[in-house]
Amino acid sequence: MSNIRLSGSAAGFAFSLFAGIMANQAHAESFRDTAAVTEVIQQFRSVNHPHQECWTEQVSAPVAPPHNYGGTILGTIAGGLLGSAVGHGGGRDAAIGIGAATGAVVGDRVGNEGVSAGYQTQDVQHCRQIDSFVQEPDGYLVKFLYNGRPYQTVMPYDPGKTLNLHVSFSPVVQYGPR
């Protein structure tokens, strides 16, 4: 491992160079000034304020009629009795069954003939969301001249005819050949 030693003049030069660089950065200037405003344009943004719209409708729905089982019961009994009277021997049970089934179907149709379905009215609520877009202020685009050059910025308020500025600058430090 070797030790690097700088002579007095080399160390002084390095220190001066470092101090010069730091001095350039430390001497940044800033001040306040004004600029002439040339144009102010209010900015807007679109904002949605949705709301819900609801309404009620009356709807008719069919209602099943009450079923009359009296005709079915009487038809079954009458058909069974008729089958019993017609049937003989081993076929008598079959005749009773066929007569009872046929009597049940005929009795059901006769007992419920002319009965129709009824209708019942009920309220049904419907809702939908309605979008409502509005334009809301969203700052001001401010165009201005400073030292004869045009600039622009966005601000939360209208500055009027003049714009107060905070001006800041610092020198550009170049290293190496120029």
- 169-177's contacts with Cβ under 8 Å and 24+ in sequence apart are 169/28, 169/29, 169/30, 170/24, 170/25, 170/27, 170/28, 170/29, 171/24, 171/27, 173/21, 173/24, 173/25
One domain, residues 142 and 175: yes
* 76 and 123 share one domain: yes
Residue 144 inside a domain? The answer is yes
Count how many domains the chain has: 2
Nearest alpha carbon to residue 62 among 109, 116, 11, 132: 116
124, 18 in Cβ contact below 8 A? Answer: no
Chain segment 102-155, per-residue pLDDT in tens: 877 887 777 777 676 678 888 999 999 999 999 999 999 999 999 999 999 999
What's the pLDDT tens digit per position in 13-72?
A: 445 545 555 554 545 689 999 999 999 999 999 999 999 999 999 998 887 777 677 777
Residue 75 inside a domain? The answer is yes
User: Does a structural domain hold residue 63?
Assistant: yes
Q: Report CA-CA distances (Å) from 87 to 76, 95, 110, 111, 132.
A: 16, 5, 25, 26, 82
Residue 10's pLDDT is 47
- Looking from the CA of 69 toward its CB, the CA atoms found within 13 Å total 0
Classify residue 19: in a domain, yes or no: no
Q: Which domain holds residue 103?
A: 51-130
**65 and 116 together in one domain:** yes
Q: What is the pTM of this model?
A: 0.43
